Structure 1
Amino acid sequence: MTDKNKADQQASPNSSTRPDHSSTSAQRARLLARLKLGPIDTITARRVLNILMPAARIKELKERGHAIDAVRISKTDDQGRTHHGIAQYYLAGPIDQQSTGEA
């Protein structure tokens, strides 16, 4: 290996040595933790939790046994545009029941 290759390798460490905050399991964990604090809507989940597809993560959490429901709301985004029919998710059962199962 040349000195340049060694320097390149050190400058950009192997992805396995860095935590993958974008993985679906990390996204599920962030979303579930946030749901335990209270309802969250799709726009907020995208912007604050960095979850591009919150509905998919909600579906996966439901498949893992978490009781999650949604209501449809209107919400204005950061650019001042109002969106109608945005899902606002919340835990449907008591929070102590929500602590079981894999995120």
Structure 2
Amino acid sequence: MSEHKKGQPNKASPEKTHVENTSGTAQRARLLERLQAGPIDTFTAIRELNIVRPGARINELRGLGHKILTHRLTLTDDQGRTHQGMALYYLSTNAPAQVTA
């Protein structure tokens, strides 16, 4: 059991947050660590990070003060279906070259 002061959230270290951990804290830690490496789209967040609702975690990270931007694009899912208006998330400091904010 981890120790933390009463009334303070239990912080999840990205190194200790395995994809099996579905707590909001662990999902936010994984997503933030991934965003620091570069942009991530909705399907990749679901598939690789085990985050079922990436938009909700992005909103929470924004609420914590992280400057995360969104670019909308068309993506094809694993079954070959095309989806318009999908999100590509990135930290404002890690903007991909093809995206203009």
- One fold, TM greater than 0.5? yes
Paired residues in the alignment total 76
Paired residues for 1:87-102 under 5 Å: 87-93=87-93
What TM-score results when the alignment is normalised by the length of structure 2? 0.71
Which residue number corresponds to residue 76 of structure 1?
76
- How far 1:93 moved relative to its partner? 3.2
Q: Distance in 1 between matches of 2:74 and 2:58?
A: 19
Question: Greater helix percent: which structure?
Answer: 1
Which residue number corresponds to residue 46 of structure 1?
46
Percent identity, aligned pairs only, is 58
Please tell me the root mean square deviation across aligned C-alpha atoms, in Å. 1.5
Q: Distance in 1 between matches of 2:79 and 2:38?
A: 24
Q: Distance in 2 between matches of 1:93 and 1:67?
A: 8
What TM-score results when the alignment is normalised by the length of structure 1? 0.70
The C-alpha deviation readout for 1:15-73, integer Å capped at 9, x for no partner, is xxxx8710000000000000011100111101111000001100000010100000001
Question: Structure 2, unaligned stretches of length 5 or more?
Answer: 1-17, 95-101
Query: 1:31 is matched by which residue type in structure 2?
Result: L
Q: Which has the larger radius of gyration?
A: 1
DSSP-derived class of the 2:32 partner: helix
Paired residues for 1:1-103 under 5 Å: 21-93=21-93
